[in-house]
Amino acid sequence: MILPPSTLGLLGGGQLGRMFTMAARNLDYRVTVLDPDPLSPAAEFASGHLNTAYTHPVSMEEIAKTCAAVTTEFENAPAEVLIALAERTTVRPSGHAVAIAQDRTLEKSYFRDNGFPVGPFHVIRSAADLPAALSAVKLPAVLKTARFGYDGKGQARIDQPADLARVFEDWKGALCVLEEFLPLDKEISVVLARDAAGRVASFPVAENQHVEGILDTTIAPARIPDALAAEARQLAEALAAKLGYEGVMAVEFFVLAGGKLLINEIAPRPHNSGHYTIDACRTSQFEQQVRVLCGLPLGDPSQHTPAVMVNLLGGIWRGEGYKLAPDWSAVLKHPGAHLHLYGKREARPGRKMGHVTVCDADPARALAIAQQVRADLGIGRAAAAPTGR
Ligand SMILES: Nc1ncnc2c1ncn2[C@@H]1O[C@H](COP(=O)(O)OP(=O)(O)O)[C@@H](O)[C@H]1O
Ligand SMILES: [Mg+2]
């Protein structure tokens, strides 16, 4: 076990890193954040901030020498950096697992090749693959870049065969995957932790509503039959086991009519849909990340109170340059509503600035209060963020 006050290394310093750092500091670990952004939200709470590129040799040396264990908070931490660090210190999750999650073509192929349910897709490496993609995938479809897509970015809807060639050319022939656009009944996700001994603790299934490709609302537990929830947790746990995964990961699912489950994607880290665990579960996904990283026993993931989480995107900030924060009394007047702000100094439409989790013993009441908060803050009224789709 790696015990406090050891130093933990964190690649990436956004809001997920901030909440990891708060959980780690609460246990009296020291945290060194590596993030090129001088205004990194995590660095505010960290013991040290290496303000360089992720691959900078001086930062790599510092982390290898001073950190008892290293983790990541975003999937684009270069996998090769994690693999190199693993020669010198404990790294969870492994660079090999992160490499799969950061490339949609590897990810989707991994699901299919290992017997996990996945929707129809076709990998496009060059223009020569376009005709085969169109015969393998029915239209309408979604074209997604293999790498660096998030919150619906790097995605384009394909309605006509001609759209595909045009978008592929616009994207300069980047490696892509074409997916059938599926009629979704619901979207759900499972966040879990798996330790080095293979023990797994999954959190209750979350139900996710997206707007313009960005998570808007999470309802936990999901309003689905128990059998479907159990199936999602089993699939997520089986996938983590297959990957030999060590750390916290999230599995996003599509639910089709009739309750058919398909895996959409995985995230090798805590997930926006798991933010409700901070206020509504016995252990948060971030404390669990600290525990699994340090080889501590896993915490109890069970939920003590029904919860609804609402994301706060920068479009609800007001005035020129989005400088004026919303009136937080709309949140604070509800005793069961918990406001989390990420310390980002600049708001922009579509930028994740914070979230609110409403907890209530009555799930219908939690949802009603969350909807009231959403309306009072002007969420949904603000012009939708451009997402490239
Ligand atoms: N094949 C699809 N069919 C229907 N909706 C989709 C499909 N792919 C993505 N979406 C919608 O867009 C959202 C974001 O897509 P996703 O692949 O999860 O990318 P990101 O990395 O941006 O989260 C999904 O949660 C879903 O709402
Ligand atoms: Mg997603």
Specify if 104 maps to a domain.
Answer: no
Q: What is the rounded CA–CA span in Å between residue 168 and residue 158?
A: 10
Q: What is the rounded CA–CA span in Å between residue 7 and residue 10?
A: 10
Statement to judge: residues 331 and 262 lie in one domain: yes
Task: Measure CA 321 to chain center.
Answer: 27
Q: Which ligand is nearest to the CA of 101?
A: 1
The predicted pLDDT at position 379 comes to: 96
- The predicted-structure confidence for 249-265, as pLDDT tens digits, reads as follows 999 999 999 999 999 99
Statement to judge: residues 158 and 222 lie in one domain: no
Any ligand 1 atom below 6 A from CB of 152 = yes
The model's pTM: 0.95
Statement to judge: residues 30 and 71 lie in one domain: yes
The predicted pLDDT at position 78 comes to: 86
The predicted pLDDT at position 389 comes to: 30
Statement to judge: residues 300 and 354 lie in one domain: yes
Any ligand 1 atom below 6 A from CB of 213 = yes
Q: What is the rounded CA–CA span in Å between residue 383 and residue 368?
A: 23
Statement to judge: residues 326 and 227 lie in one domain: yes
Which ligand 1 atom is at minimum distance from the Cα of 142?
Answer: 1
Instruction: List average pLDDT for each run of 10 residues in the chain, which is 389 residues long.
Output: 98 98 98 97 98 95 98 88 97 96 96 98 96 97 92 91 95 95 97 98 98 96 98 98 98 97 97 98 98 98 98 96 96 98 96 98 98 96 44
Contact 314, 351 (CB under 8 A): yes
Q: What is the rounded CA–CA span in Å between residue 61 and residue 76?
A: 20
The predicted pLDDT at position 383 comes to: 44
Please give the C-alpha separations between residue 91 and each of 6, 35, 69, 223, in angstroms, as whole numbers: 14, 17, 6, 36
Any ligand 1 atom below 6 A from CB of 27 = no
Contact 374, 37 (CB under 8 A): no
Rounded distance from Cα 319 to ligand 1 centre (Å): 31
The predicted pLDDT at position 384 comes to: 43
Q: What is the rounded CA–CA span in Å between residue 331 and residue 324?
A: 16
Statement to judge: residues 167 and 230 lie in one domain: no
Residues found in the chain: 389
Total Cβ atoms within 10 A of residue 185? 14
**Residue to mutate, 75, 262, 264, ligand 1, most ligand atoms under 8 Å from C-beta:** 264
Residue 301, domain CATH: 3.30.470.20
The predicted pLDDT at position 92 comes to: 98
Specify if 223 maps to a domain.
Answer: yes
Any ligand 1 atom below 6 A from CB of 296 = no
Burial string for 253-287 (b: 16+ CB within 10 Å, else e) reads bbbbeeeebbbbbbbbbbbbbbbbbbbbbebbbbb
Statement to judge: residues 133 and 208 lie in one domain: no
Which ligand 1 atom is at minimum distance from the Cα of 152?
Answer: 22
Statement to judge: residues 160 and 223 lie in one domain: no
Specify if 51 maps to a domain.
Answer: yes
Residue 63, domain CATH: 3.40.50.20
Full domain range(s) for residue 221? 184-377
Rounded distance from Cα 81 to ligand 1 centre (Å): 28
Statement to judge: residues 219 and 202 lie in one domain: yes
Residue 139, domain CATH: 3.30.1490.20
Statement to judge: residues 172 and 295 lie in one domain: no
Closest CA to 353 of 364, 367, 343, 362: 343
Rounded distance from Cα 373 to ligand 1 centre (Å): 26
